[in-house]
Amino acid sequence: MKSPKALLKKIYNDLYQAFGPRNWWPAESAFEVMIGAILTQNTSWNNVEKAIRNLKKKGVLSPEGIRNLSKLKLAYLIKPAGYYRVKTGRLKAFVNFLFEEYKGNINRMKLESVETLREKLLKIHGIGPETADSILLYALEKPIFVVDAYTRRILSRHKLISAKASYNEIQGLFMNNLPKDEKLFNEYHALFVHLGKTLCKKIPKCDICPIKGIEKGKVKINN
């Protein structure tokens, strides 16, 4: 039990054993996932849910709905999610992209390769690596691993990565050592978030962390 492959598999198995399937992403449509991915940037999901509810209540949770809304009204509706002025611009930039590239049609978007999509998403103002990958994995069902603050914290705590490993390094650790399986990546990230939100949060010492018996010390990231 010392190769990164075996280790990452074991962590997954331990978490799945402990928490079971998480059924991610919590949303009723691919577009809702995309909007949620932007709204949840450095923001608690609880606050995002309020904003999503507001959008649904107004019947504007669609590419057309967001596009036709004035910035002022959009800002008001997403206010509970925080950074509402910034996020209004980001949502607008994103839906503009959807219409320019795909006529506002998500199915059209899904036809493109994950590599092409990722490049395009990263060019949109307000879409960084995590948001892009969340959209790719959870909205478009492309096999890509999402790295977030929880992932970083958990791996770092178990001394599997250095504290200042880059996004791409961490993503590579998973993608180079696991089968490129969308279902697996989906569940894996969801399990990390669940662990981070529950145990790691409340129990600083991590005494009852489900990830047990792993070898301490850094895992080789490059290979």
CA atoms within 13 A on the CB side of 200: 20
Closer by beta carbon to DNA, 151 or else 177 = 151
Q: State the alpha helices, DSSP H only, in the chain.
A: 4-19, 30-39, 45-57, 63-68, 71-78, 84-102, 106-110, 114-123, 129-134, 149-157, 167-175, 182-195, 201-202
Contact between 4 and DNA per CB under 7 A: no
Closer by beta carbon to DNA, 83 or else 102 = 83
Contact between 17 and DNA per CB under 7 A: no
Q: Which of 65, 129, 143, 172 binds DNA (CB under 7 A)?
A: 129
Written as six digits, the tokens of 104 are 């506002």
Write the CA distances from 11 to 18, 23, 79, 172, 176, integer angstroms: 11, 18, 37, 16, 16
Least distance CB 2 / DNA (angstroms): 28
Closer by beta carbon to DNA, 31 or else 138 = 138
Cα–Cα distance, 161 to 141 (Å, whole number): 27
For residue 25, whether the previous peptide bond is cis, meaning omega lies within 30 degrees of 0, is yes
Contact between 65 and DNA per CB under 7 A: no
Contact letters for DNA, residues 74-93 (x by CB under 7 A): -----xx-xxxxxx------
Q: Which of 113, 164, 205, 217 binds DNA (CB under 7 A)?
A: 164
Structure letter (DSSP) for residue 136? I
Least distance CB 3 / DNA (angstroms): 27
Helix (H, G, I), strand (E, B) or coil at 178: coil
Closer by beta carbon to DNA, 43 or else 62 = 43
Contact between 187 and DNA per CB under 7 A: no
Contact between 53 and DNA per CB under 7 A: no
What dihedral angle (degrees, nearest 10) is formed by the CA atoms of 110, 119, 116, 137? -40
> Nearest-CA neighbor of 55 among 29, 77, 23, 36?
77
Structure letter (DSSP) for residue 109? H
Closer by beta carbon to DNA, 58 or else 79 = 79
Contact between 102 and DNA per CB under 7 A: no
Contact letters for DNA, residues 31-50 (x by CB under 7 A): -----xx--xxxxxxxx--x
Least distance CB 32 / DNA (angstroms): 11
Cα–Cα distance, 71 to 86 (Å, whole number): 11
Residues that bind DNA (CB under 7 A): 24-26, 36-37, 40-47, 50, 79-80, 82-87, 124-132, 134, 138, 148-150, 164, 193, 196-197
